């Protein structure tokens, strides 16, 4: 019998939805790449992850795909994935991976394990004094402050010594402070994509002039690249440190170059990353074969 795969999505990404976001073309490209790669060997249906449970339990596998709104419903999302797993649906990546990956505290764990990392200060709710202290701590004139739990550069700040936060500024949530790495603007951010632990392809994402956020929503652009063997090895090093018995089906390792010249981890995207299918002709096939291997 033909195996069935649920490509989990949300109202912000589903075709025809009134709430569809302008960058939801990523949904179409990623889905098309998988369908082309499968070439009819399994059926893929895009469906809201919040659909009634019994509409989802009939699938053999659920891909987290474009469930972009999960950050608004973190507890429900995890509960849903666990319910699917309990019903015998193979969830990729599994709930265990999602739980680990949804709080950027994992970066501290990977740094301790030896991954090339960006120096980071962790705070429950930083204020102006913490930012001023961070300038001195890092001997940096500019820092970024990011939410521990978050995505898409939402709720993120960048401060300079000449433009520090206001007296009464507070982040309002658990956060991480890092020195601002100029390579983000001069070179860009690397994304290394891995399928079943094997390097698939890479691209570099650059910000619009004047911005430092590389996300397409802010005018960022991406270009396919062939990274140096050394840069690929940095990404592989991160993959080797992931604390899971089984390799994740997919992973996007986002990296930036440190002043020392080596790539350091910005984040390991293991939940619902865009995998840049259009930047590599072999990607859809590679993902499809990995999916079919898992479906047995
Ligand atoms: N230390 C840093 N120096 C310079 N830019 C950064 C730094 N950290 C993050 N950024 C910029 O902010 C963006 C979002 O940060 P990131 O850590 O990837 O969080 P998110 O989960 O929101 O994607 C990055 O893509 C990059 O453009
Ligand atoms: Mg990011």
> How far, in Å, is the centroid of ligand 1 from the Cα of 218?
12
Encode pLDDT of 95-108 as tens digits: 999 999 999 999 99
212-230 pLDDT, tens digit each: 888 877 888 999 999 999 9
Q: Residue 8's closest CA among 72, 74, 93?
A: 93
**According to the model, what pLDDT value does residue 125 have?**
97
Percent of the chain with pLDDT over 70: 100
The atom number, within ligand 1, closest to the CA of 215 reads 25
Q: Which residue has the higher pLDDT, 280 or 212?
A: 280
Q: Which ligand is closest to the CA of 218, given by its number?
A: 1
- pLDDT tier at 201 (50, 70, 90 boundaries)? very high
Please give the pLDDT value at position 118.
Answer: 97
Domains annotated for the chain, with CATH where assigned, are: 3-100 (3.40.50.20), 106-116+184-270 (3.30.470.20), 121-180 (3.30.1490)
What is the structure's pLDDT at 212? 86
pLDDT reported for residue 153: 78
The whole-angstrom separation of Cα 286 and Cα 33 is: 10
Residue 256, pLDDT above cutoff 80: yes
Answer yes or no: are the C-beta atoms of 145 and 156 closer than 8 Å: yes
What confidence tens digit (pLDDT) does each residue in 150-197 have?
877 788 999 999 999 999 999 999 999 999 999 999 999 999 999 999
Q: How far is the centre of ligand 2, averaged over its atoms, from the C-alpha of 106 (Å)?
A: 14
Q: Which strands form 175-179's sheet, in the order they lie side by side?
A: 121-123, 175-179, 142-147, 157-160
- pLDDT of 154 reads 83
Instruction: Examine the pLDDT at 4 and tell me if it is beyond 80.
Output: yes
- The response to whether residue 8 sits with its C-beta less than 6 Å from ligand 1 reads no
- Mean pLDDT, residues 255-266 taken together: 97
Q: Is the CB of 266 under 6 A from ligand 1?
A: yes
Please give the average per-residue pLDDT across 70-82, as a whole number.
96
pLDDT band (50, 70, 90) for residue 270: very high
Query: Could you tell me if the CB of 176 is within 6 A of ligand 1?
Result: no
The ligand 1 atom at the shortest distance from the C-alpha of residue 178 is 1
Write out pLDDT tens, residues 116-156. 999 999 999 999 999 999 999 999 999 999 999 987 778 89
Rounded CA separation 232/197 (Å): 12
Q: Which residue's CA is the nearest one to ligand 1's atom 21?
A: 151
Using CA atoms, how far residue 166 sits from 23, 163, 214, in Å, is 33, 9, 26
Q: For a pocket test of ligand 1, which of 152, 153, 263 has the largest count of ligand atoms closer than 8 A to its C-beta?
A: 153
**31, 3, 27: which is closest to 14 by C-alpha?**
27
N-term to C-term CA, the chain: 12
Cα(275)–Cα(65) distance, rounded to whole angstroms? 10
């Amino acid at each position: 019998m033909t195996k069935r795969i649920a490509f989990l999505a949300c109202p912000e990404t589903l075709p025809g939805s009134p709430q569809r976001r302008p960058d939801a073309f990523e949904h179409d490209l990623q889905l098309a790449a998988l369908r082309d790669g499968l070439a009819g060997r399994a059926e893929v249906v895009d469906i809201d992850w919040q659909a009634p449970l019994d509409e989802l339990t009939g699938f053999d596998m659920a891909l987290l795909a474009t469930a972009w709104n999960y950050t608004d419903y973190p507890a429900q999302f995890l509960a849903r994935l666990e319910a699917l797993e309990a019903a015998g649906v193979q969830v990729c990546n599994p709930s265990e991976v999602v739980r680990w990956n949804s709080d950027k505290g994992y970066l501290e764990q990977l740094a301790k394990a030896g991954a090339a990392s960006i120096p980071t200060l962790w705070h429950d709710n930083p204020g102006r004094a913490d930012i001023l202290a961070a300038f001195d701590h890092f001997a940096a004139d500019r820092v970024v402050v990011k939410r521990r739990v978050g995505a898409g550069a939402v709720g993120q700040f960048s401060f300079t010594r000449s433009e520090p936060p206001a007296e009464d500024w507070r982040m309002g949530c658990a956060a991480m402070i890092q020195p601002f790495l100029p390579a983000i603007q001069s070179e860009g951010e690397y994304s290394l994509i891995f399928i079943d632990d094997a390097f698939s392809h890479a691209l570099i994402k650059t910000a619009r002039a004047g911005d430092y956020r590389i996300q397409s929503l802010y005018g960022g652009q991406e270009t396919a690249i062939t990274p140096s063997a050394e840069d690929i090895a940095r990404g592989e090093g991160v993959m080797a440190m992931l604390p899971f018995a089984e390799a994740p089906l997919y992973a996007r390792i986002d990296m930036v170059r440190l002043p020392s010249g080596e790539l350091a981890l910005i984040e390991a995207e293991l939940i619902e990353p865009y995998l840049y299918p259009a930047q590599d002709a072999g990607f859809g096939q590679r993902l499809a074969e990995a999916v079919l291997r898992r479906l047995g």
